[in-house]
Structure 1
Amino acid sequence: SALFTFIAVIFFTSKMASNTEIIAILNSGISFKRMLRPYIISATFLALMSFTLSNFIIPVTSKNMQEFQKTYLKGRQKSGQNNIHMQISPGVFAYLENFDAVKKSGFRFSLEQFDNDGMTEKLTADQLIWDSISGLWTIKNWVRREIGPKGEVISRGATLDTLLNLKPTDFYVDVDDAIYMGYRELRQFIEMEKMRGSGNLLTFEIEKHKRIAFPFATIILTVIGVSLSSRKVRGGIGFHLGIGITICFAFILFMQITTVFATLGNLPPVIAVWIPNFIFGILSIYLLRVAPK
């Protein structure tokens, strides 16, 4: 975590400053920027490790926990969705008046296909039921209209087992699933949901940008920590740690505020996530300039 790294840097550097080791290093002819180099290298390594873990390793290793939570902890929390519109593939649109996530069935289903000339086919049904064994959908009381150059062909029936480019999970999106997706999987999921016209993507987009912004914050906070705690003060380590904890709370507060703005649609997710890094990046440059040389 960038915040734990920040506190560790402040504690370590403040300890050196209180023992006048920083003064000795600078008096020996080593510049402050040269002294900062090992910190930057270590922070970059930790940032890369954090990026790799959060995007490629932790999501994969957490799949079993996700399945356990969905089966035993969240199974009863699933609720139905109403008035679902989505584009399941180019030119193919689905509508469902109501879908029950527990029973995996829906009512008032319609599937429309379009080409450049307009609608080519429309399938409507009173009920749509998922068969988990066969992987097919069973539609009841269905009517199909096929529109061609010679007119319409209408067919109907009581039941029909058919293969659709849909799964029950496509009708409801659990925002908690974002933390269990790798970066590539998360990006593909967002692109697919955008194509389908889903409006519940802000949480996923915020999570995607956090996967990059948080590791980068490790470097920024390291520079702030070194610049802040390298000066020997009367309060010593306690004074530096107090300022460091205050900065940590400020960083978390900024992140929470901007995330709320993004969730409400007032800020693009990428801007909301990177604003704290931008503000604290400016602070790091200022502290670096006034640090003891």
Structure 2
Amino acid sequence: MKIIHKYILGEMKMPVLFGVSLFTFIFLIDIMVQMMENVLVKGVSIIDVVRILSFYLPPILSQTIPMGFFLGVMITYSKLTSTSESTAMSAMGMSLNSMMKPAVLLATAITFFVFFLQESIIPRSFKKLEEITYKIAYEKPAFQLREKMYIDEIDEYSIYVDDVNNEDGVAENLIIFKNEENSPYPTVVTAKRTSWAEASMILEDAEFYQSDEVGKEKLRGKFLSQKIPLNSFFEDIEIKVDEIEALAIGTLLKEMKDKSEEEKIPYEVEINKKLAIPLSTIMLGILGVLFSVGHHRTGKSVSFGISLGVIFIYISSLNVGMVMANKGAVSPVVGVWTSNLFLAALTLYMYIKKTRRG
């Protein structure tokens, strides 16, 4: 039996990789489109884009690995059925439980791997993602600019951007308010053109206006070019992972200690989610076998359709439950684990059905 189990595990490798790659690509499409816009329009380097995508990958994989595994199992066992290999295994005295064993073993290993992703890799990825975002902001501040945008409190400056030339990242028609310590009114600077370099604004063709303590104009002037350093703005940025989804379970438990019952809800929802999604892999693995073994007409297209249907129901119920839990309509345990109970009930039903037929 060990040889057969090893054979089934070998057959599962490529379908599982295909399934995980497929769902990961689907999840990445929107991010990839945004990144291509940053490359073509905003001038972000390809290397930085690749690094950003690599840091987005672990949190996406934590969701797509169980989905891809389910599809891979269905494809593998459907192939074994269509080629009558599963029939031959049954004739040799191999039980349904024995046939499921390779899928269960691989599902268990994948479950531990997803836990490892969530607890170790994902928090580091989010931190690296923030670091590279600030790096891009430091080297190319125009990356963050949009038309009709108001930026408040960059050092002692507040900036209004009227127009941005996306080809070279140059802002046009800027209005800058510089807060003065000894005056209730800021110095107003208008610049027809502003470029950015090394965390500094370079103002061109600009005028400035200063007011006295009662708001009357006391000084006006013009200059062709002036460089305004913003180094302190970037140096004061503290890299801190504060997104709940990026935190490990231990960190979530620590941060929710001193919070009120209402403030604890998002943390409790996230903790339950980090437990429920990896554990769903085992049920999905068993379910994939039960859906596939014995159905001779089940090909790749049918397997794909069934897997999409089950995954759609699971993800939809999970998201609805999480929304209801975050709003306080149901407890976090009920909101998150209902979708897993659905999988467990479906798995039990299919298992009883298969064993009775056998």
TM bucket normalised to smaller = 0.5 to 0.7
Q: For residue 216 of structure 1, what is the aligned residue in structure 2?
A: 279
Task: Pick one of 328, 338, 341 that aligns with 1:278.
Answer: 341
Q: Offset of 1:70 from its aligned partner?
A: 6.9
Aligned mates of 1:202, 1:220 — CA distance in 2: 27
Matched, 1:18 2:68: no
The aligned runs of 1:125-274 (5 Å cut-off) are: 177-192=243-258, 194=259, 197=260, 199-274=262-337
Give deviations 1:105-149, integer Å, cap 9, x for gaps.
xxxxxxxxxxxxxxxxxxxxxxxxxxxxxxxxxxxxxxxxxxxxx
Q: Offset of 1:187 from its aligned partner?
A: 1.2
Contact 2:82 2:298 in 1 (8 A): no
Q: For residue 129 of structure 1, what is the aligned residue in structure 2?
A: none
Q: Which runs of 5+ in 2 are unaligned?
A: 1-64, 146-151, 156-237
Q: Offset of 1:68 from its aligned partner?
A: 4.4
TM-score (norm. length: structure 1): 0.61
Contact 1:39 1:222 in 2 (8 A): yes
Contact 1:66 1:180 in 2 (8 A): no
Change (3 A) 1:257 1:102: farther
Aligned mates of 1:101, 1:278 — CA distance in 2: 49
Give deviations 1:188-244, integer Å, cap 9, x for gaps.
01113x2xx374443332221111111100001111110001122335332232112
Higher relative contact order (CA 8 A, sep 6+): 1
Q: Offset of 1:178 from its aligned partner?
A: 1.1
Q: Offset of 1:53 from its aligned partner?
A: 1.2
Aligned mates of 2:257, 2:91 — CA distance in 1: 56
The aligned runs of 1:42-57 (5 Å cut-off) are: 42-57=106-121
Q: Any idea what SS the aligned residue of 2:294 has? A: coil
Amino acid at match of 1:275: T
Change (3 A) 1:264 1:217: same
Contact 2:245 2:270 in 1 (8 A): yes
Q: Which runs of 5+ in 1 are unaligned?
A: 77-99, 104-168
Amino acid at match of 1:231: G
Q: Offset of 1:246 from its aligned partner?
A: 0.7
Worse overlay, 227-236 or 197-206 = 197-206
Aligned mates of 1:6, 1:237 — CA distance in 2: 13
Aligned mates of 1:226, 1:101 — CA distance in 2: 58
The runs of 4+ residues in structure 1 deviating greater than 6 Å are 100-103
Q: Any idea what SS the aligned residue of 2:256 has? A: helix
Q: Any idea what SS the aligned residue of 1:50 has? A: helix
Contact 1:60 1:181 in 2 (8 A): no
The aligned runs of 1:111-122 (5 Å cut-off) are: none
Task: Name whichever structure is richer in strand by fraction.
Answer: 1
Q: For residue 34 of structure 2, what is the aligned residue in structure 1?
A: none
Matched, 1:290 2:353: yes
Q: For residue 183 of structure 2, what is the aligned residue in structure 1?
A: none
Give deviations 1:141-184, integer Å, cap 9, x for gaps.
xxxxxxxxxxxxxxxxxxxxxxxxxxxx9xxx99x611222221
Residue identity over aligned pairs, in percent, reads 26
Q: For residue 58 of structure 1, what is the aligned residue in structure 2?
A: 122
Contact 1:55 1:211 in 2 (8 A): no
Q: For residue 230 of structure 2, what is the aligned residue in structure 1?
A: none
Aligned mates of 1:190, 1:212 — CA distance in 2: 17
Aligned mates of 2:127, 2:319 — CA distance in 1: 27
Contact 2:78 2:296 in 1 (8 A): no
Change (3 A) 1:270 1:24: same
Matched, 1:5 2:69: yes
Aligned mates of 2:107, 2:305 — CA distance in 1: 22
Change (3 A) 1:102 1:220: farther
Q: Offset of 1:281 from its aligned partner?
A: 0.3
Contact 2:71 2:303 in 1 (8 A): no
Aligned mates of 2:133, 2:299 — CA distance in 1: 46
